[in-house]
Amino acid sequence: MASLNIIGYLLYNLNKIIPTLIIAYIFKYYLSWYTRENPIPGPIPLPLIGNLHQIGKDLGKEAIKLQKKYGDIFEVMLGPSRVIFISRAELMEKICSPALKNNVFAYRSLPNAGLDEMGLSKSGISFNMDLEGWKFNRRVLSHTIMSPIFLRENINFVNQIFDELENYWINLLKFEKKIDFTKWSSYVVTDIILTSITGKKSYSTTIYHNSLSNSIETEVPDNIINESLKFIDSIYMFLTSFLFFYIIPPFIRHNFPFIKSIHKKYEDNVEWLDTEFEKVIKKRKQEIENSPVDQPLEHNILNLLITINTERDINKISGIDYMRPMNDVEIRDTIKEIFSAGADTTRNSLCFIIYYILKYPEVKDKLIKEYESIYGDLTKKPNITNESLDKLVYTEAVISEVARLKPAVPVFLRATSLDTEIGGYKIKKGTQIFTNYIGVHMHEDHWNEPEKFNPDRFLNDNIVKNSLLNFGGGIRICPGRHWAIKNLKILLIRLLTKFDMTLVDPDSPLKSEFKSVEHCNELEIYVKERE
């Protein structure tokens, strides 16, 4: 009876109790924020959401605004979680340390329920919290996509895809001189990445050509079209869903009606994508088992991952800790990461590079002269080799300068595994760090006229250490960086030696927005064959 009376009292006075609880919560929230240890400059947060309203949709741009107001190291609250932004090269020293033992920044993220649900925290390399598993996966990945034998084979993959693109453009130029390069780059890069991974095309470039063509269409079976489009959509949904899983707390994702439905869609997509990759792996393993042991296999990533440290591997990884083959989950999550991360960053980087090259015709002319000096007569198809790509010094300078001004990933994550100190501030173990790449890339103390597009700055040796972070740094540096740069070089050679491209509107700014990575939304260009 007493308990019923208490319940009745609470219900009757609910309109008084709830405001009191809210006031108490807000008081406690701000008391803990104002009395926190080792405070770092930053904006005052709001209860529940913290500074999410200030960070907004475009994380890179908002980070620059806060850097200008609060300095090269500042802190914000993302919901209930404290995040420290680092925006200066000298402050990146520990973050970019190559040492694995006692590395303060061995992890990208703190334990996160969203990463667990995406399957990213226990496998692969990007967010793997198991350091032993991460070391093995990274060693294997470096052994494959950084190997000369793969990089040489990859040139053939990229050339094959571009040969198709070349034919499609020549066909379409009979009817239309203007194209949106963002769409073409998306489909071409998808084909390149998928072919490099599995040895089989997605036919995405062909499908897009057929949707535009006014004349001859390339035949592709309907079932392949449907499967290809669904797979591509799934990959990009997986990448887009990252921030949703990472930032929004599980309670909100699982219980709020509208957000719950989005969560279900993303969750189903993760499961579907895993199943599809597992089917691909199972089928390829069977194909390899049915092939004679002495029969050479194509050097695509999937074949290399399946056969590494097996009887088919002629170049086994050294070190007793790494002498086992990869299991199916490790293979699945590795190729899923390569595709989801590699395709989007490469596609957008290519768009940004084309924009700046066409914006500054003198840069385009210098690139063409470099290709003439390496490959000779450009009326013929260039004989691209791994060795010739390494000679393209100015091309690499252009890629670096565009990445400095427009990094595909403007802000990225690290987390402290030990107590440390940065910029005179003591930072405790278990603190989330956001490395503000764009803030470092545009810092006046690191770069002369940082707003100016000037590839020549990379032709000297006066680059400040840790001032260019387009591939990250330290033990978590991107293992596919050489592959990505070589792909960009090949595409630039083929594009600039075959076609004459100009911007439709040279005065229009670059149209992009942040969606887990920096996305180029539109890039309209005129195209014609070079004479």
We report the CATH number of the domain holding residue 364 as 1.10.630.10
Residues annotated in a binding site:
478
At a CB cut-off of 8 Å and minimum separation 6, what does 48 contact?
A: 79, 80
Q: Which domain holds residue 184?
A: 52-529
Long-range CB pairs of 94-103 (<8 Å, 24+ gap) are 94/420, 94/422, 95/414, 95/433, 95/435, 95/473, 95/474, 96/466, 96/469, 96/473, 96/474, 97/474, 97/475, 98/474, 98/475, 99/475, 100/135, 100/475, 102/418, 103/417, 103/474, 103/475
Asked whether residue 41 is assigned to any structural domain, the reply reads no
Same-domain pairing of 291 and 383:
yes
The token pair that represents 515 in the structure block = 């969606």
Asked whether residue 507 is assigned to any structural domain, the reply reads yes
CA distances from 339 to 164, 198, 508 (A): 21, 11, 31
CA distances from 364 to 159, 255, 451, 454, 495 (A): 21, 53, 20, 13, 11
Cα distance between residue 316 and residue 33, in whole Å: 53
Q: Rounded to 5 degrees, what angle do the CA atoms 147, 150, 151 make? A: 85
The token pair that represents 332 in the structure block = 């699945």
Do 78 and 50 form a contact (C-beta atoms < 8 A)?
yes
Same-domain pairing of 172 and 71:
yes
Residues annotated in a binding site for heme:
478
Asked whether residue 500 is assigned to any structural domain, the reply reads yes
Same-domain pairing of 476 and 506:
yes
Cα distance between residue 450 and residue 439, in whole Å: 11
Under DSSP, the state recorded for 422 is E
Q: In the prediction, which pLDDT does 14 show?
A: 58
Under DSSP, the state recorded for 46 is B
Phi, psi of 363 (to 5 degrees): -70, -40
Asked whether residue 47 is assigned to any structural domain, the reply reads no
At a CB cut-off of 8 Å and minimum separation 6, what does 160 contact?
A: 195
Asked whether residue 45 is assigned to any structural domain, the reply reads no
Asked whether residue 420 is assigned to any structural domain, the reply reads yes
Asked whether residue 40 is assigned to any structural domain, the reply reads no
**Tens-digit pLDDT profile for residues 229-258:** 788 888 888 888 888 888 788 888 888 888
Same-domain pairing of 107 and 197:
yes
Same-domain pairing of 164 and 23:
no
Same-domain pairing of 123 and 30:
no
Q: In the prediction, which pLDDT does 530 show?
A: 87
Task: Say how many Å lie between the first and final Cα of the chain, rounded.
Answer: 95
Q: In the prediction, which pLDDT does 339 show?
A: 84
Q: In the prediction, which pLDDT does 316 show?
A: 64
Same-domain pairing of 254 and 319:
yes
Same-domain pairing of 343 and 398:
yes
For the chain, residues with pLDDT lower than 70 are 1-18, 20-22, 25, 27, 29-31, 34, 56-57, 213-226, 314-322
Task: Find, among 340, 320, 370, 368, the residue nearest to 497 by Cα.
Answer: 368
Burial status of residue 276 (CB atoms within 10 A of its CB: 0-12, 13-18, 19 or more): middle
Same-domain pairing of 334 and 255:
yes
Q: At what angle do helices 328-359 and 257-289 cross, to 10 degrees?
A: 110
Do 321 and 136 form a contact (C-beta atoms < 8 A)?
yes
Q: Return the bridge partners of 432, or none.
A: 83, 415
Sign of dihedral through CA atoms 209, 210, 213, 219? positive
CA 176 to chain CA centroid, Å, is 32
